[in-house]
Amino acid sequence: MSLPWLRENWLQLVSEHGSGKLSHAHCVPWQPDLGAEAFIREWLKLLLCTQPQRKACGVCKSCLLHKAGNHPDYYEVGSIDGKGISVDQIRELTGKLQQTPNQAGVKVVWLRDAERMSVTAANALLKTLEEPTQATYFVVSPERTSRLLPTLRSRMQLHRFNVPSEQQVEQWLAQQLKRVLSAKEHELCKRYHQRPLALLGWLQSDNAPVDQLQQLSAALLGDATWPAVDKASCQGWLSATEQLLGELVRVQQNLGSDHLQLAGEQLRLQRWLTEKNYKVTDLNHWLKSCYGMRRKLAEQSGLNGPLLLQEIWMRLH
């Protein structure tokens, strides 16, 4: 595993797999900026390999079939064209899983976008997990684990990724870029160390991120107007709003500036919270509104996302 902050998760899996103790169903949060995709893909390879060591061998017949995209016992199910995952998709999968594996090994399923399963689809999956076919592994990746049915969650081993420290990310980036980081890049690491892959992308393309969090904080404090949001940028602004609310919770709890992304504005944000008389419960309430909005956007097309987001901002303001 080339991403150091995921190494612990990886070693645990390898050890459980090696000793034959690996559960048959796993839930891995879809956190692309932390490397969830690379992690899951390595893991799928490991599961399908017929002679794995600490990772897939890459040369056995099973590895080669998977590499070529032709493995008959590998199944990937996910949202198509942004639509929800239907019960028919799950039933089709379950039907195929009833057959014996073609490669005399295991069957492996990757269920992507798992938060987009309809309730009937989730229940159909639950039934499959309760009565699993032999030698079948499920890797289920929702954007947020909390958005799956509790009954479904309880049937799976839940995985959590560690967020790397600033120092860990600095070291990793310097290795990837094969050079020393500049002062400005160190500053970016301080702010975005919880999103190492996004950081690497920015540094490689020499494209500093549009600092949406900073922009929202400026609007909140009256230094700038609230940004214009359209359909394409709505998700990004929603994430930034969640980050801002999380940051306000940390400010309200008087955490040290080391824990803050907006450390420079700590005093003003504190004053703002006092003036408005906002408590942590209020902030958590708005955070819940954001999560609710994210769910609605995923489930219903034709919603006016920008308008919903502006409503949350206006209530906060």
Question: What does the binding site for Zn ion look like in residue numbers (CB under 5 A)?
Answer: 49, 56-57, 60, 63
Closest to Zn ion by CB, 56 vs 77, is 56
- Which tokens sit at 158? 């839940």
CB 67, min distance to Zn ion, A: 9
Closest to Zn ion by CB, 38 vs 60, is 60
Closest to Zn ion by CB, 52 vs 196, is 52
Q: How far apart are CA 243 and CA 225, in angstroms?
A: 18
CB 54, min distance to Zn ion, A: 12
Closest to Zn ion by CB, 105 vs 132, is 105
CB 68, min distance to Zn ion, A: 13
Q: How far apart are CA 251 and CA 259, in angstroms?
A: 9
CB 18, min distance to Zn ion, A: 14
CB 110, min distance to Zn ion, A: 17
Contact 19, 25 (CB under 8 A): no
Closest to Zn ion by CB, 54 vs 271, is 54
CB 14, min distance to Zn ion, A: 14
CB 70, min distance to Zn ion, A: 14
Closest to 155 measured CA to CA, from 124, 134, 113: 124
- Which tokens sit at 52? 């794995």
Closest to Zn ion by CB, 56 vs 148, is 56
Closest to Zn ion by CB, 64 vs 177, is 64
Strand partners for 140? 27, 111
Q: How far apart are CA 83 and CA 117, in angstroms?
A: 9
Closest to Zn ion by CB, 66 vs 155, is 66
Q: How far apart are CA 225 and CA 86, in angstroms?
A: 42
CB 78, min distance to Zn ion, A: 25
